[in-house]
Amino acid sequence: GAVVSQHPSRVICKSGTSVKIECRSLDFQATTMFWYRQFPKQSLMLMATSNEGSKATYEQGVEKDKFLINHASLTLSTLTVTSAHPEDSSFYICSVQGFSNQPQHFGDGTRLSIL
Amino acid sequence: AQSVTQPDIHITVSEGASLELRCNYSYGATPYLFWYVQSPGQGLQLLLKYFSGDTLVQGIKGFEAEFKRSQSSFNLRKPSVHWSDAAEYFCAVGETEGGKLIFGQGTELSVKP
């Protein structure tokens, strides 16, 4: 069964809206989760590393005030796209760091469309 | 700088034919190497991984990959492609097995009947 649950799978909203995406680890406690963004026909780009109980680590060029990450528990990380604009439309994928030297487990992604 | 290059953006093969997807990496230390597959609109599924040991690794769905340190390559192969293999394939490199990854650009595989 699924190891990582990502919700919602698709969201369409108006420009200026804030959108929250949830990433849940179903099978084990995850101190570290990752958020990636994927534009059409392109690769996955790491946006940030989400650390339970502490601030996320953002990759260069990613606006931390626009992409708010909260990792309040060992099974849940959320990504909030604040004041979303059409250029934020993308496929957002979370992953959970492997437990005991296991590879990352990926969610099924969220298709975000900003009108 | 760490990077992963997949030279082929799109490959088309006939069903039943063999397949090889290329991946070259640039990494300072001995990397963890991965191949993932992504179906349209979905997340990533791990096909196989390599860190050490036998340089030819077997994965799921009949895929295998060979690590060649001298060529900084980690090419993915399958002896006989099935129509259901049509998808996007990503090569990735990381410094630990479960840590953050750097992905290649991806190779889209189409399978002809």
* pLDDT confidence of residue B77: 98
Q: How far apart are the first and last CA of chain A?
A: 34
- State which amino acid sits at residue B27: Y
Residue A87, SS3 per DSSP:
helix
* pLDDT confidence of residue B84: 95
Residues forming a β-bridge with B44: B38
Tokens of B82: 């099935």
Of B36, B43, B98, the CB nearest to A102: B98
Instruction: Please judge whether A97 and B104 are an interchain contact, meaning their C-beta atoms are less than 8 angstroms apart.
Output: no
* pLDDT confidence of residue B30: 78
* pLDDT confidence of residue B43: 84
**pLDDT mean over A34-60:** 90
Neighbour count for residue A85 (Cβ, 10 Å): 12
**pLDDT mean over A20-49:** 90
Residues forming a β-bridge with B33: B50, B93
DSSP sequence for B38-107: E-TTS-EEEEEEESSS-SEEE-GGG-EEEEEGGGTEEEEEESS--GGG-EEEEEEEESSSSS-EEE---E
Q: What percent of chain A has pLDDT over 90?
A: 69
- Of the residues A9, A34, A106, the best mutation for testing chain B's interface (the one with the most B CB atoms within 10 Å of its CB) is A106
* pLDDT confidence of residue B108: 95
Tokens of B14: 């006939």
Q: Is B92 exposed, middle or buried (0-12, 13-18, 19+ CB in 10 A)?
A: buried
State chain A's mean pLDDT as an integer. 90
- For residue A1, pLDDT over 70 is answered with no
Instruction: Please judge whether A44 and B99 are an interchain contact, meaning their C-beta atoms are less than 8 angstroms apart.
Output: no
pLDDT band at B16 (very low <50, low <70, confident <90, very high): very high
- Dist CA A97 CA B94 (whole Å): 12
- For residue B47, pLDDT over 90 is answered with yes
Q: What is the pLDDT of residues B63-85, one digit of tens each?
A: 999 999 999 999 999 999 999 99
- For residue A98, pLDDT over 70 is answered with no
- For residue A77, pLDDT over 80 is answered with yes
Of A49, A93, A103, the CB nearest to B34: A103
Decide: B24 and B91 in contact? Cβ < 8 Å. Answer: no
Instruction: Please judge whether A43 and B90 are an interchain contact, meaning their C-beta atoms are less than 8 angstroms apart.
Output: yes
* pLDDT confidence of residue B4: 94
* pLDDT confidence of residue A28: 77
**Nearest CA of chain A to the CA of B46: how many Å?**
8
Instruction: Please judge whether A98 and B34 are an interchain contact, meaning their C-beta atoms are less than 8 angstroms apart.
Output: no
**pLDDT mean over A63-91:** 94
> CA of B104: which chain A residue's CA is closest?
A43
Biggest CA pair distance of chain B: 42
pLDDT band at A67 (very low <50, low <70, confident <90, very high): very high
Neighbour count for residue B64 (Cβ, 10 Å): 16
Which residues are within 8 A (CB) of B81 and not within 5 positions of it... i.e. 6 or more apart? B13, B14, B15, B16, B17, B18, B19, B109, B111
